[in-house]
A and B are shown apart, each in its own frame.
Chain A
């Protein structure tokens, strides 16, 4: 087994064993913290499909995170106010059911990704970054001005949504649910990497001219990757909103888009567990360094600088050596 595989197993085992640690050390807050890390990991795993395999540096992935969050917020808001979402041409009620909310979040973030992708994937490089950023800002300011759903203040959902057979109000059960979804996304990502689509997408990043010359269209490959990527990040957004029981325009902020990219770079670009390692490290540092100093971002910035300058394979690159990953 490669060192990277061992590292991945250790990370996974750590996440699975974390509730036990929290229980033994009587620190239940750790579970909430870990849930946050797992959800942010999921969001970054989504981004990694576009960025890591496809080479699409999207600075607008918070759009999908926010769409997922607002999908949850709007559905749950209507359920808790007993006001239907719409009455014409047919009645749509709100819901407090997680599976339904997830489905809506995934479908809508995929559709938004399709729209954004159709326009932005015509460009590349810096222009692509700028266009995705611009879309992010559009959604951000739209959310601020959408007073029906809290505008700038966002909206609170009083009770966490339900999942059949589970009590999601118990932190460890919600944590387990999020972890299962993260594992499913990672498994899908692993299968994708070995599939024809993974091979073609990976080649479209490295040598688009070659991909065209064998009769494939890099644009279509990237578009599909972008849609899948957005859908997974959207699902993470719905979970994140449920974790906080709160939705606000900050879920669309470009800073969050930037953080997703930072998770991937710190963990290791195009590494399966890169986003997970990066997000877990970020949440841990945010908690511990944040307790020491309000200015912890300075230290985090130094870490990022160090990784970019000296450890170009990210955390996993440092631990496992250069392998599958790329710069």
Chain B
């Protein structure tokens, strides 16, 4: 078996009496999309927080490319190669689409303290930002302000900013949130092509997208992984059907 790009080992996190994460060990292998699904309150956001570094786990470890990154905060993990997208778009609304992509390129280059040269000048930063925008199909909107974009375009930009980091893996928190059928289909196509560059840990509510994209699925209920396997295995798992999928599958 090839070594996992991203791995959690026995993560625990409690908020008071609520055990939000209980012994969660999942791994993301090269070239795959690993979906994490679960009902509301299952602890998906808490898990993403622990993986990205925003939440410190009570116990357990997060490994990125075999390296223990549990002690690193969010910026450190981003530098180590973890690119996340947010459930609620985190974009600089007053800035242009290009500027948002440039921010990602700037973070990847790790040199934000240059005060004298224009950030949008032709060069490596600009190329990287524009390549990411072209990849998600936002080239024509580069000069628009984010505030003027449609919701769907903002979701695409979220992915573009993650792309500028040229990460080892993506962690995507409900990228389809709020999208209609058409937008969802477009983003599904985009993510499908992305797995070749870096594997994706995908937390998603949109079951059509999950079943279309995922190589493997882990089901989270009350903070625990109750099942993990291929799409077919998960569909067939009686515990999953009872806890989550209901009659939908």
Hey, which bits of chain A sit against chain B, CB under 8 A?
191-192, 194-200, 202-203, 206-207, 209-217, 221, 224, 324, 326
Would you call A209 and B119 a contact (CB within 8 A)? no
- Of A214, A216, A217, A326, chain B has the most CB atoms within 10 Å of the CB of A214
Chain B contacts of A203 at CB under 8 A? 92, 95, 99-100, 103
Asked if B113 lies at the interface with its beta carbon under 8 angstroms from chain A, I say: yes
* Residues of A with C-beta under 8 A to B76: 215
Q: What is the minimal beta-carbon distance from B156 to any residue of chain A, in angstroms?
A: 15
- Contact, CB under 8 Å: B119 / A212: no
A210 to chain B: closest residue by CB = B90
Closest CB in chain B relative to A4 CB, distance in Å: 15
Residue from B75, B95, B112, B115 in contact with A192 in the complex, judged by beta carbons closer than 8 Å = B115
Q: Is the CB of B90 within 8 A of A207?
A: yes
Is B198 part of the contact surface with A, judged by Cβ < 8 Å? no
Q: A206-B92, A207-B90 are in contact. Are A214 and B113 (CB under 8 A)?
A: no
A326 touches B94 (CB 8 A): yes
* Closest residue on chain B to residue A188 by CB atoms: B115
Nearest first, the 9 A-B pairs at minimum CB distance are: A214-B107, A215-B78, A212-B74, A210-B90, A215-B107, A200-B112, A215-B79, A206-B92, A196-B119
B118: Cβ under 8 A from any A Cβ: yes
- Which residues in B have their C-beta under 8 angstroms from that of A211? 103, 107
Residues of A near B73 (CB, < 8 A) are 212
Q: B92 contacts A207, CB within 8 Å? A: yes
Least Cβ–Cβ distance between B77 and chain A, in angstroms: 8
A214 and B115 contact, CB distance less than 8 A: no
Count class of interface residues, chain B: 35 or more
Among B52, B99, B115, find the residue whose CB has the most chain A CB atoms closer than 10 A: B115
Interface pair B106/A200, CB less than 8 Å apart: yes
Interface residues of B in 102-136 (CB under 8 A from A): 102-104, 106-108, 110-120, 125
One of B91, B93, B117, B165 near A196 (C-beta < 8 A):
B117
CB-CB < 8 A to A207: which residues of B?
90-92
Sample of 15 further A-B pairs with CB below 8 A, known A196-B119, A215-B108: A191-B118, A195-B119, A196-B114, A197-B113, A199-B95, A199-B102, A200-B103, A203-B95, A212-B75, A214-B78, A214-B161, A214-B165, A215-B79, A217-B75, A224-B113
Q: How far is the CB of A121 from chain B (nearest CB, A)?
A: 16
Report whether B110 and A215 are in contact in the complex, using a CB–CB cutoff of 8 Å.
Answer: yes
Task: Point out the residues of chain B lying under 8 angstroms from A194, CB to CB.
Answer: 118-120
Interface assignment of B84: CB less than 8 Å from any CB of chain A: yes
CB of B75 within 8 A of CB of A195, answer: no
**By CB atoms of chain B within 10 A, which of A197, A212, A326 has the most?**
A212
Report the Cα distance A212→B90, complex, angstroms. 11
Q: How many A-B pairs fall under 8 Å by CB?
A: 103
Q: Assess whether A206 is in contact with B93, with CB atoms less than 8 Å apart.
A: yes
CB-CB under 8 A for A214 and B93, given A195-B115, A196-B112, A197-B113:
no
Quick check: is B244 within 8 A (CB to CB) of the other chain?
Answer: no
Q: Does B90 lie within 8 Å of A196, measured CB to CB?
A: no
B residues near A195, Cβ cutoff 8 Å: 114-119
Min Cβ gap B231→A in Å is 29
Complex Cα spacing A315 to B29, Å? 56
Give the contacting residue for B104; candidates A212, A214, A217; CB below 8 A.
Answer: A214
Report chain A residues within 8 Å CB of B74.
209, 212-213
Q: Which residue of A lies closest to B81 (CB)?
A: A215
Residues of A within 8 A of B211 (CB): none
In the docked arrangement, what's the CA distance between A209 and B79, Å?
15
Instruction: List the B side residues contacting A217 at CB < 8 Å.
Output: 75
Chain A proximity of B45: nearest CB distance (Å): 13
User: A326 to chain B: which residues have CB within 8 Å?
Assistant: 94
CA distance A195 to B84 in the complex (A): 25
B86 at interface (Cβ–Cβ under 8 A)? yes
Q: Which residue of A lies closest to B125 (CB)?
A: A196
A209 to B83, CA, bound (A): 12
- For the complex formed, measure the closest distance between the CB of B102 and the CB atoms of chain A, giving whole angstroms: 6
Docked CA distance A207–B107 (Å): 14
Minimal beta-carbon separation of A48 from chain B (angstroms) = 15
Query: CA separation between A221 and B110, bound complex, in Å?
Result: 12
Residue numbers in A under 8 Å from B164 (CB-CB) = 214
How far apart are the CA atoms of A16 and B112 in the complex, in Å?
A: 35
